[in-house]
Amino acid sequence: MSEVRKFDPDQSWAPLDARLSKETDPRRREVLQQVRDHMRTEISGDFDGLMATLTDEPRYHFWGLPVEGGPKGHKAIAEFYSQMIATGGHRFHFDIERIVVDEDTVVTEGKIHQKIALEALRASGIDEVEGEPLDDDATYIAETHIVTVWPIAPDGRIIGEDIYFGSPPLANLRRL
């Protein structure tokens, strides 16, 4: 399991900034910028800014989980993000290892590191991490490898996200 050196969600879009600084094609710059803005607004909890990056009827797909699916439509995705922000789930660290871009799609690949609330671990039936009982004073991180395909509409907004999980999000836990 890869280990993030410093849990810093605000560094998650740095690889997109670096890729943007090298891109010369205007359309590719536009789609990279939109994914970067989406990630930045999501991680910062800027709900209105986040929703503005999406088309009117976005569609999300989550693959490789015990129950595959994902929210479809503006209302369902707004509820998804509202819940995520309300519970602090938006403060994750994404170590992007690869970015692929063309005129209609961005693909990001890397490891997600996300703080998991103790209550969420207990509610999931988890009572120990790394062979030790849960500690009320500890912070726990879930890590998984993901590939996200970001289809982009002609107007530059994001059509959705197709996220492929390397393992279920709570399968790889560690104490921070």
Q: For every one of its 176 residues, what pLDDT tens digit does the chain have, with 9 covering 90 and above?
A: 444 457 888 899 999 999 999 999 999 999 999 999 999 999 999 999 999 999 999 999 999 887 779 999 999 999 999 998 998 888 899 999 999 999 999 999 999 998 887 888 888 889 888 888 888 888 888 899 999 999 999 999 999 999 999 988 788 888 88
Residue 42: which of 94, 99, 86, 85 has the closest Cα? Answer: 85
Identify which of 40, 47, 44, 74 has the alpha carbon closest to the alpha carbon of residue 59: 74
- 37 Cβ contact partners less than 8 Å away, ≥ 6 residues apart: 49, 53
Q: How far apart are CA 76 and CA 14, in angstroms?
A: 29
**What is the per-residue pLDDT for 4?**
46
- What pLDDT does residue 5 have? 54
Question: CA 160, 145, 119: angle at the middle one, nearest 5?
Answer: 85
- Supply the pLDDT for residue 160: 97
The CB density around residue 27, as the number of other CB atoms within 10 Å, is 15
For the chain, the structural domain boundaries read 9-175
pTM, rounded to two decimals: 0.88
List Cα–Cα distances, 133 to 83, 91, 98, 128, 168, in angstroms.
28, 25, 36, 4, 21
106 vs 147: CA distance, rounded Å? 11
In the chain, alpha helices (H) = 14-22, 26-44, 47-52, 74-86, 118-123
Instruction: Tell me whether strands 92-101 and 105-116 are parallel, antiparallel or unpaired.
Output: antiparallel
Where b means 16+ CB within 10 Å and e means fewer, 157-166 reads bbbbbbbebe
Q: Which CATH architecture has domain 9-175?
A: Roll (3.10)
**Residue range 80-123, pLDDT digits in tens:** 999 989 988 888 999 999 999 999 999 999 999 988 878 888 88
